[in-house]
Amino acid sequence: MGDRALGLRRGGASTSLRYRDVIPLGGMEQVEQVEVDQAPPGYHDDKDAVLKRLRRIEGQVRGLQRLVQEDKYCIDVLTQVAATTKSLQAVAMQLLEKHLDHCVREAMVAGGEVARDKVTEASQAIERLLRT
């Protein structure tokens, strides 16, 4: 977490509540906490692409409503539900890969407890995706 990382964070705006957990009991300098809280998410560089995908998925869901509104055949609606689910999973995979490549990687380079916690957290997220 050198200058580059700090510069990167200054440009960001998101909150990573998780990082707060590793703030020592004695506290830490305010300036650093703010930097940590504003760390950009792993998908920062793909943000536009992710938003574009999500807007397309919104369109798919509205398309589903139209199919149902027009009493379309069950199987045709189900085919579109499967396609929409597939699109959601593609977004999940993109977010997950970026999360591993940025958030998890940073934690691993930092090492220690944080790294271990990030692996547990990522594994639980993967398990939630697997169960759907």
Burial environment of residue 44 by CB neighbours within 10 A (0 to 12, 13 to 18, 19 or more): middle
Q: Which of residues 28 and 74 has its CB atom nearest to a copy of itself in the complex?
A: 74
User: Which three-class secondary structure state does DSSP give residue 107?
Assistant: helix
User: Mask: binding to a copy of itself, 107-126, rule CB under 8 A, as x and -?
Assistant: -xx-x---xx--xxxxx-xx
Burial environment of residue 124 by CB neighbours within 10 A (0 to 12, 13 to 18, 19 or more): exposed
Backbone angles phi, psi at 127, to 5 degrees: -65, -40
At position 116, the amino acid (one-letter code) is: R
Question: Which residues within the stretch 58-87 sit at the binding site for a copy of itself (CB under 8 A)?
Answer: 58, 61-62, 64-65, 68-79, 81-82, 84-86
**By CB under 8 A, residue 34 contacts a copy of itself:** no
Is residue 67 within 8 A of residue 39, CB to CB? The reply is: no
Q: Minimal distance in Å, beta carbon 117 to a copy of itself? A: 11
**By CB under 8 A, residue 1 contacts a copy of itself:** no
Give the total of residues touching a copy of itself (CB under 8 A). 74
Q: Which of residues 26 and 107 has its CB atom nearest to a copy of itself in the complex?
A: 107
